[in-house]
Structures are given as C-alpha cells and as structure tokens.
A = this chain, B = another copy of it.
Amino acid sequence: MESVKYWYLRNHTIFDALTDDDYKQLEWLVAFKTCTKHEFIYFPEDEVRKVYFVKRGNVKLGYYDDDGNEILLDVLKENDIFGQLGLEENNSSHGFAMAMGNDTVLCNFNVSEFEAMLKTRPTLAVNYSKQVGKQQMTVSRRYSSLLFKDARTRLVQFFKEWAEEEAKGITQNIVLKNYLTQQEIAALNGLARQTTARILGELKEQNLLDVRRREVLIPSIELLK
C-alpha cells in the first residue's frame, strides 16, 4: 500500500514529473500535517526555515497592525506554496500563516534539505521556480491594484481573478466555492468592512455579483465591472 506521504506528494503539481524512485527518496524528507481551523502554522517574527505546500484547504498569510487588527496579505489554496521561498536559513517571517478551516493539509520541507533535493532534480527545481514566479506576479498585481485603483475596481478585479483561476474558460453563470468572510475580503483588498459591504450590495443589486456565505455567483464575467 502506498504511504500517505507518497500520495500527498504525488498529487501536487510541483511534484508531478518525478519518478517512483524519486518519490521514495522524498518520503524521508517531507513532513505533512493536518491543521485545525485557526491553527497557526507560524507566528509573526518566527524564524521560518521551511517551505510549505498547501495540499488541501486554505491558508491565510497576514500581519497584525499596532492596534492588533488583522491585515491579510494573501489567501492561499491548493497547490500554492509559502514559507521561506528564498530558501535562506535565517529570516524571520514578518507575518503569520494560519489554517482557515479544519482538515487543511500541508506538506513541508526544511529549506536546506529542499535545496539539496532541487539540485539533483532539475524538473522539480523548474516547477518550483515557475510556481514561485507565478505567485510573485500575483502579489505584484494585487499590490499595484492597491496603489492606484478605487475600491469598486479593486473588488471587481479581485473576483475576476478568482473566477479566472477556478472557473477556467467558463464565463457565464459561474459558481465559486466561498471560503472568505466579508471581513477577510475587505482585509485582502485594503478596504474598510463598511466600504466593502456597500459595494458588494451595489453589485448584487445590479445583478453583477452575489457573495453568499458558501458561494460566490457571477452571472457573467464580461458584464462584471
């Protein structure tokens, strides 16, 4: 019977091109963990010496401001990676990582072992580079949107990118599984809760977007703006 570790690695996009022998060797290096809702993976100022892979569920990355408010930097989903992406040994996290629901499953490697592994498995190294590069471009886009877009444009763009990623190709009657509260949607876009509620209300009235507790409905990607 295949081990659970093996199975978790096997089904992750980054590891998809490895041989059976590779998997057997990786098993000794990878740790995996099921987290419960709101469990911290690391705290702000922790030294992070691992690279984490989201296998199932969602993870939020964020900060606390001086008044203790939570500021969200990103919400990760299956196949995303986080942690010490620069593979450096000494670097504090500058933020926290927290599991959003029960049954969030993560794999992780120590950076030094991960680096050694990449050096002998170029395809893995390339997949890793591509994934980090892709996430880097997403953060940059989000950042620029924060710098120069008004609140409605930011929210519309946020939901459009979400739809683009999860409903590839489909442009009508999109139903996305929602894992965010209104507070989290506000925080991810650098907006106040009230502003967010008002704009989502407008968008719903105009039949452009309906954000419910468990799902997000988008009648038409083209009309949403």
Contacts and interface: CB of A to CB of B under 8 A. Distances in A.
Nearest to A190: B147
Interface string A29-70: 000000000000000000000000000000001010110010
A136 B85 contact: yes
Interface of A: 61, 63, 65-66, 69, 71, 73-74, 84-88, 91, 94-95, 115, 118-123, 125-126, 128-137, 139-144, 146-149, 190
Given A74-B140, A86-B131, A125-B129, 10 more contacts: A65-B148, A84-B133, A85-B129, A86-B137, A119-B123, A125-B125, A125-B126, A125-B128, A129-B129, A143-B146
Query: Taking chain A's interface residues, is the majority helix, strand, or loop, or is none over half, making it mixed?
Result: helix
Contacts of A85: 129, 132-134, 136-137
A173 to B, nearest CB: 26
B139 A136 contact: yes
B148 A146 contact: no
The 5 closest A-B pairs by CB, nearest first: A85-B133, A125-B125, A86-B134, A86-B133, A65-B148
A121 B126 CA distance: 10
Contact of A147 (B86, B119, B125, B146): B146
B133 A126 contact: no
Contacts of A125: 118, 122, 125-126, 128-129
B148 A63 contact: yes
13 contacts: A73-B140, A73-B144, A86-B130, A86-B134, A86-B136, A95-B144, A115-B130, A118-B126, A125-B125, A125-B128, A128-B129, A136-B139, A139-B140
B148 A71 contact: yes
A73 B140 CA distance: 7
Nearest to A149: B65
B143 A142 contact: yes
Contacts of A140: 61, 73-74, 94-95, 139
Contact of A139 (B71, B94, B139): B139
